[in-house]
Structure 1
Amino acid sequence: MSDPRDAPEPQVLLEWYDRHARDMPWRVGPSDRARGVRPDPYRVWMSEIMLQQTTVAAVKSYFEAFTNRWPTVSDLAKAEDADVMAAWAGLGYYARARNLLKCARVVHTEYGGVFPETYDALIALPGIGPYTAAAVASIAFDRPETVLDGNVERVMARLYDDHTPLPAAKPKLMDYASALTPEDRPGCYAQAVMDLGATICTPRNPACGLCPWRSACRAWTAGTARDLPKKTPKKRKPTRFGIAYIARRVDGALLLETRPDSGLLGGMLGWPGSDWNDAPEEAPPIHAEWRSIDEEARHTFTHFHLRLTVKTALVPMDRTPERGRFFAVETFDPAMLPTVMRKAFNLVSKP
């Protein structure tokens, strides 16, 4: 790109976005924006929190369920913790749900239910980091903040044919993205560059022939687009082991406990169990004759693989648990559980 005429032009991307913007339940499209419709900061914030490390396809149903049940940030702020955690079950990365409530309550009590507009004020809120603060400020309030997610990183690495491996490349990619962020329509531009990465400049087999920035892309010229961005090889994930105890009372009630707020699956309902480590110790929550089932419940978290031995027991009505409490069968819904706990339940529920 020695010729400055070939530099990426934000306006070219915005014109592409005006024709090809994805339709999403939390988005105000370019035609509505042109008519003066403003995005709801609550919906923008909610979507960005849910989309962290989760796909658009997985988020849509959760987003619609949350915003139908709690249509404003003040509604969410007044919700019971257990209800929100149960509604989040299955979406993963449960610290996000705890921070979602903390943030909603700060916005409700300290800002009167109105999200602040600036990056500095947004990043001071619980659970909002640099990316989310920039995304909400840009998309909801049309401020020229630089949004850098995985899609944008990929687009920038290819535009500039930068072979520095991630994560070391992040500062350079931020500089590239910042230089391109326009003062005009920055919210639409932020969504446009993310859409470009998600639909055209994809990780594998990018559709370069359809890209509005193709002539400005150094990697396309060099034939290296499929090789970028480079990534530092990941370390092999360790495997941890644990025990999950599923006790059913003779009336059908099931023994569950709320996990501690800190740590993985914090604040979620789950089966009482052992610690997760190399050699878990027995920690039954109630005196019973426990039997191990033949299969393990297996799940992969961000930093490790987990293999759970699942033990079951039938207990009489008059026996008191040392941990947790019994849930009547008519009030129990497996959807209340995080994925790994549902996997354990599914194993014991097989016909």
Structure 2
Amino acid sequence: MAKQHEQQEQQIEQIIAGFEIGKFQDKLLYWFEREQRSLPWRQNRDAYRVWVSEIMLQQTRVDTVIPYYERFMDKFPTVNHLADAELEQVYKLWEGLGYYSRARNLHAAVKEVQENYGGIIPDEPDKIHKLKGIGPYTAGAILSIAYGLPEPAVDGNVMRVLSRIFHIEEDIAKPKTRKLFEALVRGIISVQNPSFFNQALMELGALICNPRSPRCHECPVFDHCRAQKMGMEDKLPVKSKAKKGKTLEMAVALVQDKEGRWLLHKRPETGLLANLWEFPNTQADGGASKEVLSQFLFETFGVKAVPAEVVLEDTHVFSHLKWNLSVYQCQYLGIEESIIQPPRSRAAWVSTQELGKYTFSASHKKIAAYVSQ
């Protein structure tokens, strides 16, 4: 381990050799002070506000996050407000934002902060890294932006910017490359203003140093970019392609009982879309979707129903998986009370008027909207 650390230090020394760090910092900070976007989480440097924004922004566009963030902060303005809330309340405000494990981990982590640190988010790296759902990037963002500590906050934007500035051809999809960039940031970060420095790198990647067709003529650190001087800006960063995700054909049942209530099911407490509500569904590859769905309803819920026509189709894409959903209107024939399965304890018959109280994933929210018309 010591040898690897020494080798990395030598590599960083080689990378920054001859690089005018002071001038680079000055130009970058000057640009950010004048050109930074006005975003709700930049109103102050409160660590909780920074934390929530960084969790929401993971794999999600800024424009999408803003209204969610504002509603969330109105409802849960402090660590203690969020820690005291029920997870169902948190999920409901997160509904449609996706990647619900983020909300679940955030909720669990603020409880840790409330119980172990009196509601004050720790400003020590070893403590903040132990909080659930906080990885190296989020920890670095909180520590630098909120607490002014010279800690690296390396996300995809930062790796893209620095791979071009320093002409680094390492594969950014590999964990060791992220560690290389973290070490590089430690070598060039502004100790006087680490908050603005890290935010400036992120902002530069978001606004100027785009993945495709970077706007080099507008870049404040154009003169320092080695890739641009070599005509390599379009070739960097190097990123190996992720494995192609799996695609599943899913059959969804719209079952309405004699009282006009819809059959819903709550997903398991762990795993994909944990604890979210959904209309009953099952994998149904092949040409027998109706038969598979009918059998699933009977064996899982004791519900006798006949799927008729497909009334809605949708696609739900995860980072590693894609669902093609076919939604079937079903004819309800009754219920077999003798069939007792564990999932029945997580099932519910819900009126159309009450659907809005339940938290669905994005695709099932569309289905709920359809049946509510």
**Alpha-carbon distance in 1 for matches of 2:58, 2:251:** 29
The one-letter code matched in structure 2 to 1:274 is T
Q: Deviations over 1:318-349 (max 9, x none)?
A: 98794511223222128832112134445667
Q: Deviations over 1:90-141 (max 9, x none)?
A: 1111111111110111111221111111221111111111111111111111
The percent of aligned pairs where both chains have the same amino acid is 34
More helix by share: 2
> Which of 166, 172, 182 pairs up with 2:172?
166
The one-letter code matched in structure 1 to 2:296 is A
Considering Cα pairs closer than 8 Å and 6+ residues apart, tell me whether 1 or 2 has the greater RCO. Answer: 1
Match of 1:283 in 2: 296
Q: Shift of residue 62 of structure 1? A: 0.6
Instruction: Compare 264-273 and 190-199 and name the one that shifted more.
Output: 264-273
The one-letter code matched in structure 1 to 2:94 is W
Q: Deviations over 1:48-97 (max 9, x none)?
A: 11111111111111101111011111111111111111211111111111
Kept in 2, the 8 Å contact 1:256–1:271? The answer is yes
**Alpha-carbon distance in 2 for matches of 1:292, 1:337:** 24
Match of 1:147 in 2: 153
Instruction: Compare 103-112 and 131-140 and name the one that shifted more.
Output: 103-112
> Which of 39, 48, 51 pairs up with 2:45?
39
**Alpha-carbon distance in 2 for matches of 1:39, 1:95:** 25
CA RMSD of superposed structures (Å): 2.7
User: Using a 3 Å threshold, how does the CA distance of structure 1 residues 299 and 293 change in structure 2: closer, same or farther?
Assistant: farther
1:327 maps onto 2:350 in alignment: yes
**Alpha-carbon distance in 1 for matches of 2:284, 2:114:** 37
Match of 1:227 in 2: 235
User: Using a 3 Å threshold, how does the CA distance of structure 1 residues 40 and 252 change in structure 2: closer, same or farther?
Assistant: farther
The one-letter code matched in structure 1 to 2:95 is A
1:311 maps onto 2:328 in alignment: yes
Kept in 1, the 8 Å contact 2:253–2:307? The answer is no
How many correspondences in the alignment?
341
SS in 2 for 1:184: coil
SS in 2 for 1:167: coil
Instruction: Compare 93-102 and 281-290 and name the one that shifted more.
Output: 281-290
Match of 1:52 in 2: 58
User: Using a 3 Å threshold, how does the CA distance of structure 1 residues 8 and 348 change in structure 2: closer, same or farther?
Assistant: farther
Q: Shift of residue 250 of structure 1? A: 3.6
Specify every segment of 5 or more residues in structure 2 that has no aligned partner in the other structure, as ranges: 1-15
SS in 2 for 1:212: coil
Q: Shift of residue 5 of structure 1? A: 4.2
Specify every segment of 5 or more residues in structure 1 that has no aligned partner in the other structure, as ranges: 29-37
Match of 2:273 in 1: 265
Kept in 2, the 8 Å contact 1:290–1:311? The answer is no
Kept in 2, the 8 Å contact 1:6–1:215? The answer is no
Q: Shift of residue 8 of structure 1? A: 6.1
